[in-house]
Amino acid sequence: MKVTFLGTAAAEGYPALWCRCERCIVARERGGENLRLRSSVLINDDLLIDPGPDLVGSTIRLGVDVADVQAILITHLHDDHLDPTGFLW
């Protein structure tokens, strides 16, 4: 089984936009892998779990092609996965 994590952060991303805690400050300073997009997972290139508004950015950043996705699984009813305005491109 091939598992690709497209994002591993909560709905606000990480570091959080308005947060000034030490961890978020350090993550901003270090950048790179310390900057996490909102949660989404691709399984075997054909099952997309919890896509959200970061999908385009995460696929480009990771060099992932989602053209072979056959099914989308939504595991919970949060706006970061279900709000269609996040997909207006």
pLDDT at 81: 63
Q: What is the pTM of this model?
A: 0.80
**Helix (H) / strand (E) containing 79:** helix 79-82
Split at pLDDT 50, 70, 90, the class of 89 is very low
Residue 31: which region, alpha, beta or left (left: phi > 0; alpha: psi -120 to 50)? Answer: left
Give residue-wise pLDDT tens across range 27-54.
999 999 999 999 999 999 999 999 988 8
Strands ordered across the beta sheet of 40-43: 3-7, 40-43, 47-49, 71-73
More confident residue, 55 or 22: 22
- E-assigned strand segments in the chain: 3-7, 40-43, 47-49, 71-73
Alpha carbon distance 32, 29 (integer Å): 9
User: Across all residues in the chain, what is the average pLDDT?
Assistant: 89
